[in-house]
Structure 1
């Protein structure tokens, strides 16, 4: 991770809830909004789509809480990317593994067909909401030759996630192919998501990429950007480039929190900045839930034209392996030898090995560019290979029911030497 900065964590918490653009767009238009601002979605959301957004936002905040708790520096996440990658993977799961994954991703007991449709419709809607904002969402699937995925799984991946299936001759070739794909889909922002050596038993990679580029609805004047003070955790002061402008944003305050919202393009998308004024940022994130977020969003009001806003200009990137967080959030079975993925790999049992997540964000006077790639690695669960007693051992001859030990010994050399 890059330099430690508590408030920057919360600047980027905004990106963790970008999907709230859909949930909030159906509200009544602000009286001060410009005539070309988006005030309603192109169509009414279905019940399942609303559930998808609620599930995504709930997962976003829970994942933010988990990762913030175990990171001492900046935290960058795209929960949408993680949810889509795991949502596609979930089509290969069954029984307890499926139940755990659905619950962790916020889907509860929804059926597979409805979940797939909701993911598909969300991916279709988000890129087309604002002609002034670029949103790209891509999915892909890579297999190790000569293995093949289950036909029903690839059908779902293509139909609902628009994910092509590729076959590669080696695990290194799989890593290289995903890295090249991620570089292309994020327009060079994430050139290499997979940097470690591939697991020897790797057989499948499933990936999602999200790219966002938006210009501020009201831009900052670069001439007004100047060095400013930023209070780090612990009280030390740092000097950072501060962008400045008057008005053109919405704000909300109480005795513990200051919030501002800055719109992009036609206001379908925005950055919501949450800055705790009393508590450490980690403590604030630990209490941040969808109810608190809704309270802030509903309380936002247009700032006066002469009300100044100062916001850091920054470029940050982060890399996280999310399997510890996902286990803790409720889906440990998917990563264990007890994993149940019968719809994933033909004639093989698999489990998840890793969930690699890389994010980069650039914020300047013109707007914001953000990109994320999430890669799920699947390895084969090998059948038991037997037990070899091939080193010194202790033995006990005992009566099993009473536990009485008759003979015991230590064998260092079975040859009797």
Structure 2
């Protein structure tokens, strides 16, 4: 290999989100009758309808009296000890989403889970804000290739479920203070131009890959990456604390919680056999990001590498994405960094498939399309102001929700764009406050079945966000990754897919039971028959897993 050659680096991100509409069986639902079978921190506040997101409850926080009550324990055992064979039909019914960078990527998936309980209220003992994450994946990767420099240019290379006790108070503060997914997400929205398109992307995947790049960056490139990740470039200790905090966040999100709950994160570095990586970088990427290194000869083994990665994609996305690499990497490829986040979720209260109906969706005031509209009546967190309605549809697991924001304007896509503009200029704390202000409310939810697939490059967005140097061989400085000159990022490719649908027979029995209990007072309508936006939010970790917009729902 020519040591003076440029080492081109390609960043890829892959995300796969599988949001399922699938509930517990009717026997479990019928057993949950007395709100006192589950403990909450403050019954007076709960009885007044206080915000349930405010009171996360861990099993370790149950009192001795609660632990002696067998009903909730038996329910958890039935729901979380289901065998893989029992889950075959269950899994096939789930909705799915996936985001993915499209060049070279890989993901090592772990089977660990997390669950957090949110309190019930007497008015709705069956509402547990829950998530069953197991079917979403995000993958980010960086690939380095080599190209010869022009002669006229000088190149400078520049846990048990609910086990939050393992996260100390200091670690919690660091995670909340340093990993600002809400802020970074709004920055991406602000610098994006999506026109009339459907969009899905994973901020978590993007943050992971930028953090891996920052780990190996110095000089101007380090300063830009640190600024975008909301760190002080002049405080070197902040970067170390960020890596340590992300290490804890990864461990928390992927910690085992049960068979019905899964948020899985993995990384991989692919390096050319002739391209030496810095030992310290290899060690730290493994320590902080659990990122092993696998070597290839990209010149002679490129086709084999392509086949291996595409096979991995098919397995990890359960066939939803057949391939991510369209052609074998060239001989000048030197490195690929890959991140994957996989999420799978079932609705706590499923939608009843037999009442899904064809309905009109108003893309614009004078343009409608037919969609398959799902319907449910739920007592869920709800917020409303002059601009929009926001609901949080719970998943099993008590820690993550599908937050949908519906503009009140009736001018279709333009109304959505106006809402996105308003939200993008908000302080991140403002949106978090609005999430905390959500109150339990009975809502008649109508939301379309949908499959959204986004495949695009992030170079322009990241440049506009403030990271131009890493895309230029003359400016990039990744000297902590390798001492070879000329390593730079040539592309950041992000692919995302989400599929949302309802479950069939098993879910129908639960839904009918739930419907009988909650149709007492007229519910507040939330009718998503026009463009809207959504995000999948891990409430306790304060982490946005996915963010998207729906302009033309499709179901094929």
Shift, 1:208, TM fit: 0.9
Q: Distance in 1 between matches of 2:292 and 2:328?
A: 24
Please state if 1:356 is matched with 2:478: no
Aligned to 1:107: 231
Closer, same or farther: CA 25–139 of 1 in aligned 2, 3 Å: farther
Aligned residue number for residue 380 of structure 1:
none
User: Residues 24 and 133 (structure 1 numbering): CA distance in 2 closer, same or farther, change over 3 Å?
Assistant: farther
Secondary structure of the structure 2 residue equivalent to 1:214:
strand
Q: Distance in 2 between matches of 1:180 and 1:25?
A: 42
- For residues 240-276 of structure 1, the C-alpha deviation after alignment (integer angstroms, 9 at most, x for no partner) is 0111111232221122101111010032111000111
- Give 1:128 deviation, angstroms: 2.9
- Corresponding residue for 1:284? 419
The equivalent residue for 1:126 is 253
Q: Please, what TM-score do these two structures have when normalized by structure 1?
A: 0.75
1:254 — aligned with what? 385
Q: Matched residues in 2 for 1:58 and 1:259: separation?
A: 19
2:197 maps to: 73
Partner residue, 1:207 = 338
Aligned partner of 2:484 in structure 1 is: 347
Which of 441, 450, 475 in structure 2 is aligned with 1:303? 441
CA 1:236–1:310 in structure 2 vs 1: closer, same or farther (change >3 Å)? same
Q: Is the 8 A contact 2:130 2:401 kept in 1?
A: no
Whether the aligned pair in 1 keeps the contact of 2:381 and 2:392 (CA below 8 Å) is: yes
Q: Deviations over 1:206-242 (max 9, x none)?
A: 1111111111111111111111121103541111011
Distance 2:407 2:327 in 1: 36
Correspondence for 1:228 among 337, 351, 359: 359
Match 1:152 to one of 280, 283, 292: 280
How far apart, in 2, do the equivalents of 1:294 and 1:30 lie? 22
Task: Give the deviation of 1:299 after TM superposition.
Answer: 2.4
In structure 1, stretches of 5+ residues that fail to align are: 1-11, 15-22, 374-417
Query: Does the CA-based 8 Å contact 2:130-2:400 persist in structure 1?
Result: no
1: CA distance between counterparts of 2:330 and 2:199?
26
- The equivalences for 1:26-65 within 5 A come to 26=56, 29=119, 31=121, 32=124, 42-43=164-165, 44=169, 45-53=171-179, 55-65=180-190
Aligned counterparts of 2:490 and 2:279: Cα–Cα separation in 1:
22
The structural deviation recorded for 1:192 is 2.3
Distance 1:230 1:292, change over 3 A: farther
Task: State the match for 2:209 in structure 1.
Answer: 85
Deviations 1:263-322 (A, max 9, x none): 100321110001111262122212213234224312212222xx4111111112111111
**Bigger-Rg structure (1/2):** 1
Q: Aligned-pair distance for 1:361?
A: 0.8
CA contact (8 A) 1:182 1:209 kept: no
C-alpha RMSD of matched pairs (Å): 3.0
* Corresponding position of 2:151: none
The unaligned stretches of length 5 or more in structure 2 are 1-16, 20-52, 58-117, 132-161, 508-535, 537-544, 547-556
Aligned residue pairs total 347
CA distance in 2, matches of 1:322, 1:177: 25
Does the 8 Å contact 1:56/1:106 carry over to 2? no
1:280/1:198 Cα in 2 relative to 1: closer, same or farther (>3 Å)? Answer: farther
Quickly say closer, same or farther: Cα 1:71–1:52, change in 2 above 3 A. Answer: farther
TM-score, with structure 2 as normaliser: 0.57
Q: Deviations over 1:8-40 (max 9, x none)?
A: xxxx9x9xxxxxxxx977598463465976798
Gap change, CA 1:33 and 1:112, over 3 Å in 2: farther
| Segment of structure 1 superposing worse, 283-292 or 149-158 | 283-292
8 Å Cα contact 1:214/1:264 also seen in 2? yes
Q: What is the match of residue 331 of structure 1?
A: 467
1:65 to partner: Cα distance: 2.9
Query: SS in structure 2 opposite 1:362?
Result: strand
Structure 1 residue aligned with 2:78: none
Tell me whether 199-208 or 35-44 shows the greater mean CA deviation.
Answer: 35-44
